[in-house]
Structure 1
Amino acid sequence: MEAPSLHALAAMALTVAVFYLFVRDRISIEIVSLLAIAIIAVGLYFYPMPHTQPTDGLQLAFSGFGHYALITICALMVMGRGLVVTGALEPAARFLERVFKLNLQLGLLFSLLIAFALSMGVNNTPVLVLLIPIFVTLALRGAMPASKTLMPLNAASLLGGLATTIGTSTNILVVAIAVDLGMPRMGVFHFTPIVLAASLIALPYIWLVMPRMMRDNTPEVSEAQRMFVTRLRVPPSSNLAGRHFDEVVDTLPEDFRFEERPAGPFETGQKLRVSGTHDALEDAIRVLKGQIAPGWVVDEVEREAKRLGEDIQVVEMVVTSDSRLIDRTLATSGIADRFGVAVLGIHKPNRPLRAEDAVDASGDMRLAEGDVLLVMGLTGTINTFAQADSLLQLEGAREVPRRSKALLAATIMGVSVGLASIGVLPIAIASLGGAILMFLTGCVKFDRVGRALSAQVIVLVAASIAIGRFVLDSGAAGWLGESLALGLQFLPPAGVLAAIMLFVTVLTNFASNATAATVGTPIAFAIATELGLPQEPLILAVLFGCNLCYATPIAYQTNMLIMAEGSYQFGDYVKAGVPLVLIMVVTLSVLLAMTYGM
């Protein structure tokens, strides 16, 4: 066997060095990724590979930025953003929220089984695209942190995708290469029983162990959530009309309470003092179909937002010592008439509601220095209001979901996912078409695209594609395969299967699934012929290994999709993914040997 070329050695050394730097986490992922791209570009420019030009090295190094995989990931992020900002996934999130409230562990298990089952018949990438924003929303609603749910969900979807020949694009590629080599075509459920048996061992780890290995990456809140006092109005369409307090109390959010209780049933036109956090007030309005600001003001803000094509903002504003609002009430301030904004509630610092707070004859609270107003309106009117009345605008403005476009966003996502799932369009084309439609229909604004994309993910994907191509084109992958074949003659059949699976797993976690499938399938076919072993189990070992992409974020596009939303570090994938890889390699190798009588 010949020694590896200098370029192959350089590719292997660069891969190991980049992995080490990623795991150490001393230098940011963006810097390491850009350094890797720069090293490949400069190195291949001055020392090009045989039969190539210096400019070919530059093309290889920077090819990741225009690669279809990166474009697909960005398009999927944009579509996911469209579902969030329109509130399209709120019904599904509320259903799962009820499941999680019954029991967190059972809620997670239920979600994992859904992801697993869907990924068996549908490409697992669209499945994760749908589930990610739902579980991010659930985390904001107080369920399990996104960092503890997204990694297990991704693992479950990858596991489900492993179970059928159509579960992932990699499965289709391996089966196609095997057919080209002379093997009979495998059916959709050809190896499903093997994967289902392995899942009985892997799923408990994903469900019970993996979440405990993940840190709670939820951003820390600098202070407790503010409680806002407001008036709840009972319009004719409200669910409160004609009902008693005891009938609705169990449907209220935890951080919401009535400060005044009616003696009898609720009546249309009634105004009752209530208090709650911003989220609790929103949930209570949705459940009770009440109003916490005059209906005409809210309608005016919505009409103006539609006319101008702007998003409605909800911000918190502090009353300063120079404000004209001091000692006035909302009714006497004329805020709505003068500025066209709606004040949804008032927070009294360190005293959510006390009897000694100054009130006027009608019972409305007077504003004081330091009070925090929860204000809804357009960006321009809010800024005008803040400047005119000497208010200090706090950070953390939130957009009101454009619910009028929720059905449209859900339809665009559904059609895109459906076309990709049944194979009418490649996932890249379907996701790009969906993202463009999200822009054209206003579900996602052009100036808000930056919020949907993650610079860290973009640079990391580009670097991983460049490294993968370098490993393949330099001959490093082929040399490693030849080295593997030399040592397999001394191993038992189950050991041969495990070794092939581990080799392909390493390739798929550090290069790409396509590289692993392209290199691994012919090698496995040749090893089977050389050692006199049945070809099918060795080909399946390659197929399984290509899907064991749990150990790095660069291994598969869904790993990248969850990275930003879960605030994961490179080391999180290694810590949680390596044990799962070992579990699957051992289990699948034994099951393959038993199934094929090896």
Structure 2
Amino acid sequence: MPIPSYHALAAMIVTLGMFVGFARGRMSAEIVSLLTIAVIAVGMYFFPLPHSEPSDGLVLAFSGFGHYALITICALMVMGRGLVVTGALDPAARFLERVFKFNQQLGLLLSLVAAMALSMSVNDTPVLVLLLPIFVGLAARGGLPASKTLIPINAAVLIGGMATTIGTSTNILVVSIARDLGLRQMGVFHFTPIVATAALVALPYLWLVMPRLLRDNSPEEMQAHRRFVTRLRIPAGSDLVGKHFDEVIGKLPADFRFEERPDGPFQEGMQLSVSGTHDAIEEAGRVLKGQVAPGWVIDRIRRKGSEKDQDVHVVEMVVTADSRLVGRTLATSGIADLYNIAILGIHKPDSMLRTQTIDPRGELRLVEGDVLLAMGLDADLQEFASSDSLLLLEGGREVPRRSKALLSTAIMLFSVGMASVGLLPIAIAALGGAILMFVTGCVKFDRVGRALSGKVIVLVAASIAIGRLILETGTAAWLGQVLSLGLQFLPPAAVLAAIMLFVTLLTNFASNATAATVGTPIAFAIARQLGLPPEPLVLAVLFGCNLCYATPIAYQTNMLIMAEGDYKFSDYIRTGVPLVILMVVTLSVLLVFTYGL
């Protein structure tokens, strides 16, 4: 057995140390990532590789921060942010919401199957970019928590991408290397039946088991449980006009209710007292085409925001004892005229006080402790809070810029299309799409920090440095030599499983490209030594490169979902390792039967 160089041995120790640091979870992922980069930088500076300079080690350690993979991930995050802030994916989210409300298990099953099918013909990264904001929005609407759906959806996308030669860039790389080594050209659907069968075996795990292994990481937001009382105005063109109460009540959210019921059909100009959570009031207004604030105020706010190129915000404000609003009603407060602010609802701290805070005209009087749901531009909201002694609560949100929804969708589809058909690399297509999002105003440049995740950025940089370290120190080549020595005594099925596990180990701790580059020639060499056909061994490499479920650093889609699902390293290990084992066993058996080994 060959002896590894001390650089290769050190690379294995650093990789194992990073894995243990992530798995134990005592330090944040950011700290472990930065420590890994620091250890590589210092070690390579004082102990450089043969025929290299100390400064080359620094370049290797910090190369991840300028790597195309990191640029791609950041650009994809920006484009996803553009779809969210423009409300472009709301229709798809509402459709899935109806399916999930009918039956959550059915909704998840349909989503998993759709993700697999899409990624067979479209590169898996763009597919996940399209699906990610939909499921985050679905979670915000009361569907399954994002932390329970994103890892299963990501796994479904990766399995689907494994089914065709164009599903992932790694598949293309393995097939190209194998062809250069003398293997016949594989068609697009050459190995699709094998992967489709394995997908059917894995689907029950993704659907029924994996969500149960994941925690609900949804943040506890107090405003989600806060009910606001407001007036629903029925303008001309509203779906309520001419309808009776019983005809519309079934269309409304569960957290919305009418506080008063009209005697006859709804009439234009009618104002009715309603209550609900912020989300429920917003959804009911969209369904019924009603207004919870005077239309002229909302139109003026949006017009002013468009003129100044500023976002409209909805925030919550608490009325303090010093506020001039105490004892007044919304009609007598002059808020709209003074500050260009629309009050969408009032939350009372104690419902028993309501009977004591109604004036003779039936309007609610404001008292200390009331929470106002206010809509306006940021500067106007700040002036309102300061002048009228209001306490501005955290957790405000931007009103979607729906006028740019079609534009953001077109940019996303154009970028995804260019990458999917191979006209542009995914890095160039994503970067161009992100720039277009900025130029067209779909995403504001000063808000780009909300789209990016610092944890993901340093994690990507550390994983790229580890991958280069494993490759350039000869660690991957040494592991391949050791593997080839040990496989000569094993039956063909075990040889396939061992190769797949070896490549899976590389792809989860180095990179798909490294695993493909190292694993494909090794598979050919082993096939010659053992007298086996090379094609099943090459497919074992190809499948192993795609079994990247066990760590967040294994593939860029794993990192894309990390921030949105608030995942820890242990979440990937807990759910990914069983899936890797299941897929390795299933695919190995299928290869043995398919090729008669």
Partner Cα separation in structure 1 for residue 290 and residue 319 of structure 2: 27
Displacement of 1:225: 1.5
- Matched-pair contact (CA < 8 Å) for 1:227–1:352: no
Separation of aligned partners in 2, 1:268 and 1:245: 14
Distance 1:451 1:352, change over 3 A: farther
**Which deviations, in whole Å up to 9, do the C-alpha atoms of 1:18-64 show, x marking residues without a partner?**
10111000111111111111111111111110111111111111100
**Cα displacement (A) at 1:222:** 4.7
Cα separation, 2, equivalents of 1:5 and 1:314 = 60
Percent sequence identity over matched residues?
A: 73
User: 2-side partners of 1:584 and 1:34: how far apart?
Assistant: 33
1:17 aligns with 2:17: yes
Q: Is the 8 A contact 1:120 1:162 kept in 2?
A: yes
Q: What's the CA shift string for 1:251-304, capped at 9, x where partnerless? A: 011111111111111111111111111000000000000000000000000011
1: CA distance between counterparts of 2:285 and 2:6? 67
* Structure 2 residue aligned with 1:531: 530
Question: Do residues 373 (structure 1) and 372 (structure 2) align?
Answer: yes
User: For 2:583 and 2:226, how far apart are their aligned partners in 1?
Assistant: 47
1:353 CA drift (Å)? 7.8
In structure 2, the partner of 1:291 is 291
Q: Is the 8 A contact 2:470 2:510 kept in 1?
A: yes
Match of 1:88? 88
Q: What is the TM-score normalised by the length of structure 2?
A: 0.99
SS at match of 1:71: helix
What residue in structure 2 maps to residue 473 of structure 1?
Answer: 472
Report the alpha carbon displacement of residue 363 of structure 1 after superposing the two structures with TM.
Answer: 1.2
What does 1:411-426 align with in structure 2 at a 5 Å threshold?
411-426=410-425
Give the whole-Å Cα distance in 2 for the aligned partners of 1:175 and 1:425: 20
Amino acid aligned to 1:238: S
* Runs of 4+ residues over 6 Å off in structure 1: none
Q: Give the partner amino acid of 2:151.
A: M
Amino acid aligned to 1:412: I
Aligned to 2:491: 492
For the Cα contact (< 8 Å) 1:120–1:167, is it kept in 2?
yes
In the TM superposition, what is the alpha-carbon distance from 1:115 to its structure 2 partner? 0.2
Q: Post-superposition shift, 1:405?
A: 0.6
Aligned-partner Cα distance in 2 for 1:290–1:525: 68
What SS class does the counterpart of residue 528 from structure 1 fall into? Answer: helix
C-alpha distance in 1 between matches for 2:563 and 2:490: 42
**How many angstroms does 1:237 deviate by?**
1.6
Whole-Å separation in 1 of the counterparts to 2:357 and 2:24:
58
Quote the residue 1:516 is aligned against: 515
Which residue in 2 is equivalent to 1:449? 448
Q: How does 1:106-255 map to 2 (within 5 A)?
A: 106-222=106-222, 225-255=225-255
* Residue-by-residue CA offset, 1:314-346 (whole Å, 9 max, x unaligned): 111111111111111111111101110001111
Secondary structure of the residue that 1:572 maps to in structure 2?
helix
Gaps spanning 5+ residues in structure 1: where?
A: none
| Distance across 2 between alignment mates of 1:381 and 1:552 | 46
Equivalent residue for 1:505? 504
Q: Shift in Å at residue 361 of structure 1?
A: 2.9
**C-alpha separation in 2, matches of 1:297 and 1:149:** 39
Deviation digits for residues 477-522 of structure 1, max 9, x if unmatched? 0000000000101000000000000000000000000000000000
Q: Which residue of the partner structure matches residue 44 of structure 1? A: 44
How far has the Cα of 1:358 moved from its partner? 2.6
Structure 1 partner of 2:347: 347
Does the CA-based 8 Å contact 2:224-2:277 persist in structure 1? no
1:75, 1:191 → 2: CA distance?
32
Q: Deviations over 1:167-201 (max 9, x none)?
A: 11000000000011011110000000111111111
How many Å separate the matches in 2 of 1:326 and 1:11?
Answer: 67
1:391 matched residue in structure 2: 390
Alignment CA distance shift 1:511-1:35 (3 Å): same
What is the CA deviation profile of residues 146-183 of structure 1, one whole-angstrom value per residue up to 9, with x for unaligned ones? 00000000000000001000011000000000011011
Question: What's the CA shift for 1:223?
Answer: 7.1
Cα contact 1:229–1:353 (8 A) shared by 2: no
SS of match in other structure, 1:313: strand
Q: 1:228 touches 1:352 (CA, 8 Å); kept in 2?
A: no
* Structure 1: distance between partners of 2:137 and 2:434: 21
1:229–1:352 Cα contact (<8 Å) kept: no
Cα distance between partner residues in 1 of 2:226 and 2:22? 39
Residues of 1 paired with 2:503 and 2:359: CA distance? 75
SS of the equivalent of 1:324 reads: coil
Judging changes above 3 Å, is the alpha-carbon distance between structure 1 residues 528 and 353 closer, same or farther for their aligned structure 2 residues?
farther
1:23–1:570 CA contact under 8 A, matched in 2: yes
- Asked if the contact 2:112–2:156 (Cα under 8 Å) also holds between the matched residues in 1, the reply is yes
Q: Matched residues in 2 for 1:362 and 1:416: separation? A: 56
State whether structure 2 residue 569 is matched by structure 1 residue 570: yes
> Runs of 5+ in structure 2 lacking a partner?
none
SS for the counterpart of 1:171 is helix
SS in 1 for 2:17: helix
Residue 224 of structure 2 contacts residue 278 of structure 2 at CA under 8 Å; is this kept in 1? Answer: no
Q: Match of 2:325?
A: 325
The CA deviation string for residues 439-475 of structure 1, in whole angstroms up to 9 with x for no partner, is: 0011101111111000000000000000110000000
- The CA distance in 1 between the partners of 2:278 and 2:217, in whole Å, is 22
Corresponding residue for residue 305 of structure 1:
305
Q: In 2, Cα distance between the equivalents of 1:360 and 1:33?
A: 61
Secondary structure of the residue aligned to 2:356 is: coil
User: What pairs with 1:53-72 in structure 2 (closer than 5 Å)?
Assistant: 53-72=53-72
CA distance in 2, matches of 1:73, 1:353: 51
Partner SS for 2:225: coil
CA distance in 1 between counterparts of 2:533 and 2:224 reads: 64
- CA shift for structure 1 position 208: 0.6
Distance 1:85 1:224, change over 3 A: closer
Q: CA deviation at 1:224?
A: 6.3
Alignment partners' CA distance in 1, 2:389 and 2:482: 74
Amino acid in structure 2 at the alignment position of 1:557: Q
What's the counterpart of residue 596 of structure 1? 595
SS at match of 2:343: strand
Contact kept in structure 2, 1:233 and 1:270, CA below 8 Å = yes
Distance 1:431 1:364 in 2: 52
Give me the whole-angstrom Cα distance separating, in 1, the residues matched to 2:92 and 2:223: 30
| 322-331 vs 512-521, greater mean Cα deviation | 322-331
| Alpha-carbon distance between aligned partners in 1 of 2:570 and 2:446, rounded to the nearest angstrom | 33
SS at match of 1:88: coil
Q: Which residue of 1 aligns with 2:459?
A: 460
* 2:86 maps to 1:77: no
Q: Is the 8 A contact 1:119 1:167 kept in 2?
A: yes
Question: How far does residue 369 in structure 1 lie from its aligned partner after superposition?
Answer: 1.1
Query: Which whole-Å CA distance do the structure 2 matches of 1:223 and 1:432 have between them?
Result: 36
Task: Give the whole-Å Cα distance in 2 for the aligned partners of 1:568 and 1:191.
Answer: 33
Q: Take 2:119 and 2:459, find their aligned partners in 1: how far apart are those partners? A: 25
After TM superposition, list the pairs within 5 Å mapping 1:250-265 onto structure 2: 250-265=250-265
Query: Could you list the per-position Cα deviations for residues 549-590 of structure 1 after superposition, in whole angstroms to 9, with x for gaps in the alignment?
Result: 000000000000000000000010001000000001011011
Aligned-pair CA distance for 1:373: 0.7
**Counterpart of 1:344 in 2: which secondary structure?**
strand
- Which whole-Å CA distance do the structure 2 matches of 1:222 and 1:402 have between them? 25
| d(CA) in 1 for partners of 2:296, 2:339 | 14
